[in-house]
Chain A
């Protein structure tokens, strides 16, 4: 616990860690302003095909819709913000020489990897929580309360306002799990390097590569796709389908947790055998 508290302190005392929070706040503010000013026009454009079949009444442009749009937009880019910190967890200390201080004290190397992973996961959770807070609180403050209207490819879904809080809460939990997978990958690359730029770029490269493989409709890629963690990173969207497919959610969670376990086991093995020469 002491090691974990030290690692948490280090993560949250670093100025670099707050880049993510600032970026999220800025983007959320820009999106909120855009929705507040031009939301109606934007929605008319989206709904022009269905307007001849349904009548939409009430306050459609509201805080919940704004929060949903912000989550959709930002959660795609958050792996970069997570990688900035995760890729630096061990390699950053190797580059500055402080890894020597850490590794010449009683806590074991597996314990160090474990504590750094948990600290990185807490950082991811804090980023997602901040995103949720900014999106929901900001949205509701600026645009008020209301039902959420979600337009998917084949249907128009309306979630009553009272039915939304738990959906958003679980969506944020699942998004945290997805980002924790990126944290674990970043930590694995971080163990192998002596400076942080390599692991950050490598982590993002893997996320981009896997995303491309997962979205291209080649038969081979489609066979691989279910096994890639990136395919399951958008599992949080399941909370905004009319029918809750628990089986699909559990399966995605299992893939993400499996990846985390493999990445952390590999990182622990490599770090335990690593000669610290910096």
Chain B
């Protein structure tokens, strides 16, 4: 499979602070690649190095199979990016901002494309207002619009859903999936686990500038290792404690139970409680990524 982005032992320090420490990972063509890590883990610095905003101290970055060379900046015309918040020229309209940025990206006549991306991000009708009148959510949408303007092959998004309302979150999620179907590779950095879990095909987890894990989301988050929360009554707690389920019981708090189990065991548990005549008020599996993420970063912090 074709590598779109490849980092090899990349390191960056700011004075005594090691922001990125020997980081290596690859983004394949067609991926929605989740780049996860807590705040301050080196995600943004890594993305800035990919885009030539920051120079790595050592290591190698390859884009579209070629080593990144500040002298050959045409490669940036194949990348759309939104890094650390959507900042624009506030004294210009949204449309004018896109027009100027489109021209810089090499679009000769950007007008038709601007209309398309405005429609795509839901800003049609507000494009002629000054950006200084936009809400944060609108600026975020404009940020995504400018990243898509020149029809990039790789989209690099740093926390793209920050400040968006639930509808906005959903829109962006659907947009990313649509772009993936069109063959665009997406590198999505986030500290929001659910955001990555719902759309990413592959992911990397970083902490304190180091890579903790990389691989297919499905492989890293085995569906056979779920945390299931059950809400029933006091009798259910007793029945669980006296059965084979006891080994899998993680926590019992009032009438709520948390058990670790495989996916296929969920109906078995429901049948067991039904058989014991216990009511089932709630049965849900916890997001496995959160558990996995906390486990990884927690272990790393302890070590």
Residues 137-173 of chain B, each 1 if its beta carbon lies under 8 Å from chain A, else 0: 0000000001000000000000000000000000000
Least Cβ distance of A118 to chain B in Å? 16
Q: Across the interface, do B76 and A2 meet the contact criterion of CB distance under 8 Å?
A: no
B104 near A: Cβ within 8 Å? yes
The tally of CB-CB contacts under 8 A between chains A and B is 75
Q: Closest chain A residue to B88 by CB distance?
A: A98
Q: B87 contacts which of A14, A98, A103, A273 (Cβ < 8 Å)? A: A98
Check A98 against B104 for contact (C-beta < 8 Å): no
User: With the chains together, A16 CA to B85 CA distance in Å?
Assistant: 24
A108 within 8 A of B: yes
Give B100's nearest chain A residue, CB to CB. Answer: A6
Chain B residues with CB under 8 A of A15: 91
Residue B294 interfacial (CB < 8 Å): no
The interface residues of chain A lying within 8 Å CB-to-CB of B18 are: none
CA distance A98 to B88 in the complex (A): 6
Partner of B53, one of A5, A14, A98, A100: A100
Q: Is the C-beta of B254 less than 8 angstroms from some C-beta in chain A?
A: no
Specify which of B14, B52, B77, B146 is in contact with A101 (CB 8 Å cutoff). B146
Given contacts A6-B104, A108-B71, contact A97 B77 (CB under 8 A): no
If A10-B100, A13-B92, A276-B54 touch, whether A107 touches B73 (CB-CB below 8 Å) is: yes
Known: A2-B104, A3-B104. A104 touches B51 (CB 8 A): yes
Q: Which of B158-194 contact A (CB under 8 A)?
A: none
Quick check: B79 and A6 within 8 Å, CB to CB?
Answer: no
Please tell me if the beta carbons of B103 and A275 are within 8 angstroms of each other in the complex. no
Q: Is A96 an interface residue (CB 8 A)?
A: yes
Known pairs A275-B55, A277-B48; A105 contacts B105 (CB<8 A): yes
The answer to whether B76 touches A105 (Cβ under 8 A) is: yes
> Does B249 make an interface contact (CB < 8 A)?
no
Which one of B52, B85, B90 contacts A103 once the chains associate, using CB atoms below 8 Å?
B52
List residues of chain B with CB within 8 A of the CB of A273: 55
Residue pair B87, A100 in contact (C-beta under 8 Å): yes
Chain A neighbourhood of B26, CB < 8 A:
none
Contacts of A46 in B (CB 8 A): none
Whole-angstrom distance between the alpha carbons of A105 and B146 in the complex?
A: 11
Contacts of A23 in B (CB 8 A): none
- Beta-carbon nearest neighbor of B71 in chain A: A108
**Binary contact track B92-103/A, C-beta < 8 Å → 1, others 0:** 100010001101
Tell me if A102 is interfacial: C-beta within 8 Å of chain B: yes
Bound CA–CA A277/B79 (angstroms) = 19
- Number of A residues with CB within 8 Å of any CB on chain B: 27
Q: What is the chain B residue whose CB lies nearest that of A101?
A: B101
Option from B48, B71, B85, B89 in Cβ contact (under 8 Å) with A276: B48
Which chain A residues border B89 with CB–CB below 8 Å?
A: 10, 13, 96, 98
Q: Which residues of A contact B106 (CB under 8 A)?
A: 106
Query: What residue of chain A has the Cβ atom nearest to residue B91's Cβ?
Result: A14
Residue pair A96, B52 in contact (C-beta under 8 Å): no
Query: Could you tell me if A6 and B103 are in contact, using CB atoms closer than 8 angstroms?
Result: yes
Cα separation A97 to B90 with both chains bound (whole Å): 11
Does A269 touch B at the CB level, under 8 Å?
no
Binary flags per residue of A129-165, CB closer than 8 Å to B gives 1, else 0:
0000000000000000000000000000000000000
The reply to whether the CB of A9 lies closer than 8 angstroms to some CB of chain B is yes
Query: With A276-B54, A277-B48 as given contacts, are A106 and B104 in contact (CB-CB < 8 Å)?
Result: yes
User: Which residue of chain B lies nearest to A3 when distances are taken between CB atoms in the complex?
Assistant: B104
Q: Which residues in A have their C-beta under 8 angstroms from that of B96?
A: 13
State how many angstroms separate the Cβ of A65 from the closest Cβ of chain B.
Answer: 40
Cβ of A6 to closest chain B Cβ, rounded Å? 5
* Residues 104 to 138 of chain B near chain A (Cβ within 8 Å): 104-106
Can you list 9 A-B contacts (CB < 8 A)?
A2-B104, A96-B90, A97-B87, A103-B52, A105-B104, A106-B76, A106-B105, A273-B55, A275-B54
A-B CB proximity, top 9 nearest: A97-B87, A276-B53, A105-B104, A275-B54, A104-B51, A106-B77, A106-B73, A6-B100, A106-B76
Beyond the given pairs A6-B104, A10-B89, 8 more chain A to chain B contacts, judged by CB atoms under 8 angstroms and listed by A's residue number, are A2-B104, A98-B87, A98-B88, A103-B51, A106-B104, A275-B14, A275-B53, A277-B48
Report which B residues bind A (CB closer than 8 A). Answer: 14, 48, 51-55, 70-71, 73-74, 76-77, 79, 81, 83-85, 87-92, 96, 100-101, 103-106, 146
